Amino acid sequence: MPLMTSKPMFDLAYDGGFAIGAFNVNNMELAQAIVDACAKEKSPCILQISKGARQYANIRFLRHIIDAAVEEYPDIPIAIHCDHGDTIDLIKTCISDGYTSVMIDGSHHPYEENVSLTRQTVDAAHAAGVVVEAELGMLGGIEEDVVGLDPAEYEKNVEKFLTDPQQAADFSKRTGIDSLAVAIGTSHGAYKFKHEAKLAFNRIEQIMKTCPGLPLVMHGSSSVPQEFIDLVNRYGGNMPNAKGVPEDQIAMAARKYGVCKVNIDTDLRLAMTAKIREVFFTKPAEFDPRKYLGPAREAITSMVQRKLHMLNSAGKTEAVIAHWKKLGCPLPAYYGGKKTGKKKAR
């Protein structure tokens, strides 16, 4: 099964009552755990590579790890996505590196600048058969290079930072994007909220009316599982008051609304860190990386399996593959698809 864009996944997800989990990859163990979970649950998935991950792990290593995952699990539909690309140069580099989906995040720019940057991205990506996600609205919190609003300020004035439905319609029409990351009350990082989160489902409904059929994306959607916070704190960590998005609200967004993609990164970090801390604390003489990275990988697999059921994407691989074939098995130019005159040998 070759890599694919997110289009065959989103086509089915929008009306099918499910969303695709988009999981960030920084190393081999994360990739193995995520794809193993998807194989066990027969779920399509999106593997996200952020700018920070590229700097940390070197894209050549990450691409070969993902290529290995595709070979190892040939029946799992997989897309490679650029998470929070911030410049057109980075986007073009990602396209040349074989990404099948890219995100350009111009949400921190003035509106017209966001439109212009996104339109340039769409032109470059679509010419290579790659799909584009953009963002409109503002989220709170901090994660890697993504600095949002102060959580306290965000919670206090959340309404004014949410995605405007009319603006979303104008933005979609003028840019030609394939999906839109919307601000609906989520937040980046582990310390998302001071109080219980409440997603703005009424805002999602309004966007669905002004942008019919446009796949919506939820960023900042880790639930920050309490069991991992407890392990971190029990074994020498210090994460008081960490709070995420309740899983029942994420499930509702995926099952009842037009949310087709849900980003999950913080929860992966928490699962890995919690299990490594547990091994270090309970077995202080242990120095074999396999003995602490192994349990971490197992914890991530189990947690991702739970997420896939939450998103209702478990069991959807056959339907996605069938739809991909019905579309003519489209592939980006990098993999021999649409010709651009710059096809890269592979």
| CATH code of the domain in which 48 resides | 3.20.20.70
pLDDT digits (tens, 9 = 90+) for 217-245: 998 878 888 899 999 999 999 988 777 88
Asked if residue 273 is part of any domain, the answer here is: no
64's tokens: 């070969």
268 touches 30 (CB < 8 A): yes
Asked if residue 286 is part of any domain, the answer here is: no
Asked if residue 291 is part of any domain, the answer here is: no
Q: What pLDDT shows up at residue 290?
A: 97
Asked if residue 169 is part of any domain, the answer here is: yes
Q: Is the pLDDT of residue 141 over 60?
A: no
Asked if residue 297 is part of any domain, the answer here is: no
Asked if residue 138 is part of any domain, the answer here is: yes
Nearest to 135 by CA among 150, 148, 153: 148
Backbone angles phi, psi at 342, to 5 degrees: -130, 35
pLDDT digits (tens, 9 = 90+) for 331-345: 999 998 864 444 333
Asked if residue 274 is part of any domain, the answer here is: no
Domain hosting residue 43, numbered range = 7-220+242-264+312-335
With b meaning 16 or more CB within 10 Å and e meaning fewer, what string describes 263-301?
A: bbbbbbbbbbbbbbbbbeeeeeeeeeeeebbebbbebbb
Asked if residue 307 is part of any domain, the answer here is: no
- Over residues 127-155, mean pLDDT: 69
- Indicate the pTM of the whole model: 0.90
Number of domains in the chain: 1
Active site residues: 83
pLDDT digits (tens, 9 = 90+) for 291-337: 999 999 999 999 999 999 999 999 999 999 999 999 999 999 999 88
pLDDT digits (tens, 9 = 90+) for 252-272: 999 999 999 999 999 999 999
